[in-house]
Amino acid sequence: MDFTVSQNFFEFVLQEVNFCLKKLAFAFLTACVYWFLTSLKICISRGLYDANAERHRMFLCWLRAVRSGENQGLYLFLVLHFLNGASAHGLSDEQKEFQKMAFDFAANEMSPHMAEWDEKEIFPVETMRKAAQLGFGGIYVQPEVGGSGLSRLDTSLIFEALSTGCVSTTAYISIHNMCNWMIDTFGNTEQREKYCPELCTMDKFASYCLTEPGSGSDAASLLTTAKLEGDHYVLNGSKAFISGGGDTDVYVVMCRTGGKGPKGISCVVVEKDTPGLSFGKKEKKVGWNSQPTRSVILEDCHVPVTSRLGQEGQGFNIAMRGLNGGRINIASCSLGAAHACVQLARDHLLVRKQFGDTLSSNQFLQFKLAEMATKLVASRLLVREAALALQEGRSDAVSLCSMAKLFVTDECFNICNQALQMHGGYGYLKDYAVQQFVRDIRVHQILEGTNEVMRMIIARSLLSESG
């Protein structure tokens, strides 16, 4: 039958859908059909039907399959659609290009080495420098100092794509980008020209130093001091759980130059070869093993006043501004892990046989896979909304960044964990990538502000709204 657009086309589709609903009687198909009709209306109104004709014909073929009782195909079609098309839906041609570039880099330069980097705890410097050649060392840093000058949404697309190849490495790249942005945004011309170009090429690497042994979620209570002596600050204290610590070159350090509370905190840049700067032992971690983690120790560490970013007392604001973007970045890394795990789960269901048939024929597992894909798409939409809000400087940006970090890191961990469960005993073997995604993504619910703190931020915002 020729499925060209006509007055009767929608009637035909609705008849087909009605027949399927009566036979299958489940709510999920209703949502899928709603999506199809809405998509088709938009395509026709924009003159895009021809470009999407294959997808619509494919959908109608699956409707026929459902009528004949072959309903497992519908689930697999939907999952394939979410994986192959939804991540690029609504993006500009330019965004699709650098998203594809990031996916290709992840598949060719990261994924083949992910397990080795994890097992041998390799910090893949040369691979990250290759990423920097594509503009990924300063994604949202201004072009005049070597950055790519892209938006927060663009950044999210890139980090999601890269994380499909290695979450741990991408997470470090996101932290490096955050530090680079902080220097670009709050530094003076001399500071920007001194640090940003080499950070953008990743000839030098950066670390973010806020957390201390005694101040995690309560960051404003930090104890590291910076006493002014002439034209230098003398820093004393220690920072904990520092990504890249000991292997990186530039440390963006929050320290206390004034009294108690957030207004007494300033931000200074400390270079690796500064006397008085040392590092603790390399931590043994559950995941994130392709990036070293150490304590950063400051003992009578003399740093020029000219290394301070912004004004005295502005440090806590700088740190929180950085973390707003960092929360979107880490949520984006979670999206990439979940994306990869849905693919792994789908592939496993298609080939693994039990009780004489593939697991993909089991309706319970079909439902689970459909739920995983749906949660992935919902999470992606929330991250992109938060990214737009932050880029536009909207009043709800902080809350949305917190919501994205809370919801997406929780849901994406559940997706990855469910994918492991679908693999059965194989999922617990290190020969299978799904277990590494689970291990790497777990910490996302803790860092950049724990998800409990995210709830506090969201609730505080809601309760402060008037009338």
The answer as to whether 74 is a domain residue is no
Q: How many domains does the chain have?
A: 3
Last residue of a domain, one of 185, 205, 225: 205
Same domain, 245 and 299: yes
Query: Quick one: pLDDT at residue 465?
Result: 78
Q: What residue ranges of the chain have pLDDT lower than 50?
A: 1-7, 9-10, 13, 17, 20-27, 29-34, 36-74, 77
Helix (H, G, I), strand (E, B) or coil at 136: coil
Same domain, 345 and 453: yes
Question: What is the C-alpha separation between 16 and 59, in angstroms, rounded?
Answer: 11
Same domain, 164 and 102: yes
The answer as to whether 441 is a domain residue is yes
Domain with 188, as residue range(s), is: 93-205
pTM for the whole thing?
0.83
Which residues are registered as beta bridge partners of 98?
A: none
pLDDT tens digits along 404-437: 999 999 999 999 999 999 999 999 999 999 999 9
Same domain, 364 and 456: yes
CATH number at residue 310: 2.40.110.10
Question: What is the C-alpha separation between 279 and 239, in angstroms, rounded?
Answer: 9
Question: What is the C-alpha separation between 395 and 397, in angstroms, rounded?
Answer: 6
Same domain, 298 and 336: no
The answer as to whether 57 is a domain residue is no
CATH number at residue 340: 1.20.140.10
Same domain, 296 and 258: yes
Rounded to whole angstroms, the maximal C-alpha distance in the chain is 85
Helix (H, G, I), strand (E, B) or coil at 139: coil
- Segment holding 92, helix H or strand E: none
The answer as to whether 414 is a domain residue is yes
Q: Annotated catalytic sites, by residue?
A: 448
Say if CB 161 and CB 106 are below 8 A apart: yes
Same domain, 136 and 220: no
- Segment holding 79, helix H or strand E: helix 72-84
The pair phi, psi for residue 294, each rounded to 5°, is -140, 165
Task: Tell me which residue has tokens 């950085």.
Answer: 322
Specify the DSSP class assigned to residue 145: G
Residues contacting residue 98 through CB under 8 Å, at least 6 positions apart: 135, 150, 154, 157, 158
Last residue of a domain, one of 186, 205, 224: 205
Task: Tell me which residue has tokens 């849905």.
Answer: 342
Which residues are registered as beta bridge partners of 227?
A: 234
Record the tokens describing residue 239, joined without a space: 């920072």
Same domain, 457 and 367: yes
pLDDT tens digits along 175-229: 999 999 999 999 999 999 999 999 999 999 999 999 999 998 999 999 999 999 9
Question: What is the C-alpha separation between 245 and 422, in angstroms, rounded?
Answer: 36
The answer as to whether 44 is a domain residue is no
CATH number at residue 160: 1.10.540.10
The answer as to whether 13 is a domain residue is no
Last residue of a domain, one of 300, 315, 330: 315
Specify the DSSP class assigned to residue 212: B
Say if CB 83 and CB 346 are below 8 A apart: yes
Same domain, 356 and 449: yes
Same domain, 270 and 343: no
List Cα–Cα distances, 33 to 13, 21, 168, 381, in angstroms.
Answer: 9, 10, 38, 20
The answer as to whether 217 is a domain residue is yes
